[in-house]
Amino acid sequence: MAPYDPTGPDRPGKIIALHLNYPSRIAQRGRTPEHPSYFVKPTTSVARSGEIERPRGTELLAFEGEIALVIGRAARGVDRADAWSHVAAVTAANDFGVYDLRWADKGSNLRSKGGDGFTPLGPAAIDARAVDPNALRIRSWVDGELAQDDTTAALVFPFEQLVADLSQLITLEAGDVILTGTPAGSSVVVPGQVVEVEVDAPDAPGAPSTGRLVTRVVQGDAVPGAFGAGPKVDDLQRSEAWGSAEAAGLEPAWRLTAERRERLASVATATLSAQLRKRGFDDTTIDGVHPLHPGETMIGQARTLRFIPARPDLFASHGGGYNAQKRAFDGLNPGDVLVIEARGEAGTGTVGDILALRARVRGAAGIVTDGGIRDIAAVAALGIPAYSKGAHPAVLGRRHVPWEVDVTVACGGAAVQPGDVIVGDGDGVLVIPPHLVDEVVDAAIMQEREEEYIAARVAEGEPIDGLYPMNAAWRARYEAAAEQGRETTDGQ
């Protein structure tokens, strides 16, 4: 390791930062990028260990511990195989940002992340030749408490890809710095707090480390926006700055909790559908799909994938590489149900055994497609719940182009938005808007209790008329029986 002073002779000519890279951070943001996307930070934002000023009138100064690549020799038009040889060193970085100013940046991050001292680097540099770029570790501490801890083993965009990609656009010169993204754990810090960032290679000979990059937050006097856009925050910015709504002290986002799953599993989709219809939601069934495993129940929250009709030029531009289909399966989280819009076209597969395996490994709760499934025997053997229009051996390029993920889709005649609750059983698949779940489940449970009572009376020989649905007399008898049952239960 060698000392690294980014404010001295080694001051970088360019600082290029990546938006998203670590799976843990991508899971927080809820979107998986298809390609690397970047922004530029001014060289005046560079600092060593020291202090950072939170601008007066702002509240959301957030840290982001990152691994910085320091270019050693010029790179222009290099390929991935040669890219790492152009990196001289890696060091620790802190990509600070003020979310209060983010609204005005339109993605450029100049106002929110370009302030003086907003890119601390150092304190030492690790020789890039001495480490495996896929075996580095990044950790951050706030007031001594570990806040970030991740490795480069599973990056969406490996470091050599970043160097090669950028070199196709611009010349990377010696001393330039590439910030490679932050893992989960980034959050808000306030004056008086201290943030430390360290990069190391624990499995390399000698376990080289950058040492800790230390930044103390102080209150500044400068007021941004006197001659332009000033601070402005909302709950979305607070949630993203803190890392979650709960961390920001906001009302937690609606979640499909274990208790809600259990209650949904206790009632049939037929009953839930009846209760939705009573509330004016009569188009919430995904029609024409059938379960791969009869008798199973599927419950989860929707993630979505949309296919458009096949066209050679569009398939050439969107069908290959890390396309929307691959991003959709890679982005699944435990409890998700991937809902695929295939326009009811069953003349080709929309998912096969490898992607279904990826969904199972990611912990997905199921797959629903109004198209076909290929490798259907292998998919069935995986055990993951799946609903489709049937089997088909052809690949998606025959009829489909994978187009976009996590958008509102139409599947089997039903509109499905990311986050909707998907429930499937032998009767079919139902889409429930989250805000209706508790109300609908409560009513469905009551309905099934009533229907159990009615079924028991029919079994005893009672006629249907007046009993199903219950008239006033039968209703009174049912309420009396229910009350007696409650008293018996309470007495126990």
Q: Which residues pair with 414 in a beta bridge?
A: 411
375 is an annotated ligand-binding site residue:
yes
C-alpha closest to that of 407 among 304, 284, 331: 304
353 is an annotated ligand-binding site residue:
yes
73 is an annotated ligand-binding site residue:
no
438 is an annotated ligand-binding site residue:
no
355 is an annotated ligand-binding site residue:
yes
How far CA 372 is from CA of 285, 292, 379, in Å, comes to: 18, 11, 12
Task: Report H helices in 168-294.
Answer: 235-242, 258-265, 269-278
Q: Nearest-5° angle of CA 417, CA 423, CA 426?
A: 135
Instruction: Write the CB contacts of 480 (distance below 8 Å, at least 6 apart in sequence).
Output: none
How many other C-beta atoms lie within 10 A of the C-beta of residue 83? 23
Distance CA(448)–CA(266), nearest Å, equals: 10
**CB burial readout 26-48, b (16+ within 10 A) else e:** bebeeebbbebeebebebebbbb
Three-state DSSP class for residue 117? coil
Return the beta strands (E) in 274-365 as ranges.
Answer: 285-286, 290-291, 298-309, 336-341, 349-351
354 is an annotated ligand-binding site residue:
yes
Distance CA(250)–CA(475), nearest Å, equals: 43
Q: Which residues pair with 46 in a beta bridge?
A: 119
How far CA 342 is from CA of 91, 241, 322, 325, 461, in Å, comes to: 46, 36, 19, 12, 48
Distance CA(275)–CA(389), nearest Å, equals: 26
Question: Is 371 in contact with 305 (CB distance < 8 Å)?
Answer: no
Distance CA(426)–CA(293), nearest Å, equals: 9
Instruction: Give me the phi and psi of 119, to 5 degrees please.
Output: -135, 70
- Using a 10 angstrom Cβ sphere, with 0-12 exposed, 13-18 middle and 19 or more buried, the burial of residue 86 is buried
Tokens of residue 369, six digits: 């497609």
Question: Is 350 in contact with 308 (CB distance < 8 Å)?
Answer: no
Binding-site residue numbers for substrate are 352-355, 374
Binding-site residue numbers for Mg(2+) are 375
Binding-site residue numbers are 352-355, 374-375
